[in-house]
Amino acid sequence: MEKFFGELDRYLFHNGTHYELYNKMGAHLREVDGVKGVHFVVWAPHAKAICVVSDGNGWTPWTDVMQKVDDAMWELFVPGMCEGVKYKYLVVRADGSEVYKSDPYAFRSELRPATASIVADLEKYKWGDKDWLAEKKDENFLEKPMAVYEVHLGSWKKDLSKWDEDQYFDYRRLAHEIAEYVKWMGYTHVELMGICEYPFDPSWGYQVTGYFSPTSRYGSPEDFMYFVDYMHKNGIGVILDWVPAHFPKDDYALANFDGTPLYEYGDPLRAEYPEWGTKAFDLGKKEVSNFLIASAFFWVEKYHIDALRVDAVAAMLYNSFGRQEWRPNINGGNENLESFEFFRHLNSMLRSRTSAFLIAEDSSIIAGVTKPAKNGGFGFGLKWNMGWMNDTIKYYNTDPIFRPYHHGLMTHTFEYAFNENYMLVLSHDEVVYGKGSMINKFTGSKQDKLGSLKTCYTMMMGHPGKKLLFMGQDFAQEREWNFETGLDWFLCDDEGHRDVLNCFRTLLHIYRERAVLHNDCGGETTCEWINSGDYNRNIFTFIRRNPWNYNNALIFVCNFAPVERYEMGVGAPVDGVYKRIFSTYPDGSPLEITAREELCDGRKYKLVFNLRPYESCIFEVPYHESTPQEEAEEKTVRSRIKKEYKEATSDFSHVPKTEVPEHLSAKPAAKKRTAKSKS
């Protein structure tokens, strides 16, 4: 019988370029010579023997013994086995000891604390998001709005009708309730924490054991497909948190899989992250790199995920990360050159073959994270702006009396806003471990805090970059986030908290409707200071505009002081009537102000109005007919944006050259795979 994991599969896998590895590795329902069953494939080069134990064979060892295909791969077809069977691999390790392992490529896992893998059929679900996928196929996401709602599914809400300690909603109910809320608010995407299977609840899903398995906490793989499908049908994108940096030491999972450091480094100075107590993936092994690359493709291809947010990128980029002793690279530096190539390879292939992209949660100082690999970058679609997050929160923590001394924290972030494709994030990391909730980062009375939070969100919405906010912070959750309890939704009945919610909702809709706020392709000319030095009054005024003129431009005025400013003067770019389209005060009805021809903030025109304590306003710049020069500049800018997008999605400079042997490429089935590997 011809091997299921054939010679071409093995060749591509060992060369790190088998992008559809999930279609062969693991457990797959098959029919062989008219007999239905399950075919198992596992990589364990140093194992002495492996067998499949399952509830199908009464968990009896050595009933279903795997065969070693080459020096590394093991295979077995078990006739009669069907979907839903629970199984593990019994591995005889290099030293002769035996250990039960879950399947690294399992499509489904038991609910913790049980650890068996489960045979699953991922082809049964009938997707209904064809229109969504077609719309995203050639879309430049940098030109589109992206306002992300970060969610931990287990603590968004609790089902109090359940008697178990978790009280989880399932994927299907979550889909309906979250979609309804997200659509009403105006978010464009949801980002899901902790979906890849994991054993330890307090890790929130960042210590993964199932890189191809959605957690069973909220239902089956089909249920999760329904979740994604329903989001797409409602016009909502889905981002998945993904952890290629490290994995836990649990004996049943990846650690020392065949009795040797297989997925992790063998070098003791690189094998672990001491701070987290986890193993580090050895990306120098092509099979390990391929495992992770295939995992990324898997979530995109099988579950239609729109983007993956890569956790702990900085840990992967530095050999010294979290380590007192570390191994220098071949050049004597602390950069992990294997990770550099891994990201360049993965980003290049993912962006060229799909509409999906990776988002880097990166605190490193390495430049070019979102630049094409051929230009020395890593090719990520977006990067979390950790500098913006740290500086703004430090400013928020400061009493308004002392904020003039920290004014530069807020203006400095504009200086590098276009160095990368940034996403501004106020994530779960900022509301845990004693950091308090967003509202409690501000000083003063409850009223002061609510007012400050609204101005914080206004400044965030005007700042260049995509947006992300963690659940509960849009209605000013007061308690620090706890993964074991639901959000305090009752706060929405309070007038002050409801006002914050409505304020943020209005801002989201303005952000989505106004291209000058969400189109991040225009560059530095799209953001202009009016007055960046008004530190004595804690006020920031700036313009978001088109690169070619002021049509559709918006003026932001953000007051971080508990003081009213009467007859406030703000410089304006053109003459005409300016409309106030937003105020953080609930009574901030539309207001029209005619610009005076009077020098202000170095500009020819001046707006005069009263600005209340902690009030932020947005003014719409009056429309003027475009000049021929402006029309020509618009054409040039749009052409440049189109060219840059094409370069970012067709960069193969760091894709490994896989020269398939002639005797393999001659096979008809191999020709298509070969073309994909060379792209």
Residues assigned a catalytic role: 311, 361
**What is the signed CA dihedral for 495, 500, 504, 506, rounded to 10 degrees?**
40
SS (HEC) of 156-201: HCCCCCCCCCCCCCCHHHHHHHHHHHHHHHCCCEEEECCCEECCCH
Alpha-helix runs per DSSP H in 44-160: 130-136, 153-156
For 288-301, the DSSP string reads HHHHHHHHHHHHHH
Q: Please check whether residue 244 is in contact with residue 310, taking contact to mean a CB–CB distance below 8 angstroms.
A: yes
Residue 128: both structure tokens together: 């209904």
- DSSP lists the bridge partners of residue 76 as 40
Burial of residue 332 (number of CB atoms within 10 Å: 0-12, 13-18, 19+)? exposed
Quote the tokens at residue 416: 């590098």
Residues shown for the chain: 679
Q: Which two tokens stand for residue 42?
A: 């596992």
CA distance 4 to 20: 14
Closest CA to 423 of 476, 475, 350, 360: 360
What is the amino acid identity at position 178? I
Q: Is 85 left (phi over 0), alpha (psi -120 to 50) or beta?
A: beta
- Cα–Cα nearest to 110, from 76, 84, 132, 73: 84
Residue type, 259: G
In 3D space, the residue among 472, 513, 504 whose CA is nearest the CA of residue 586 turns out to be 504
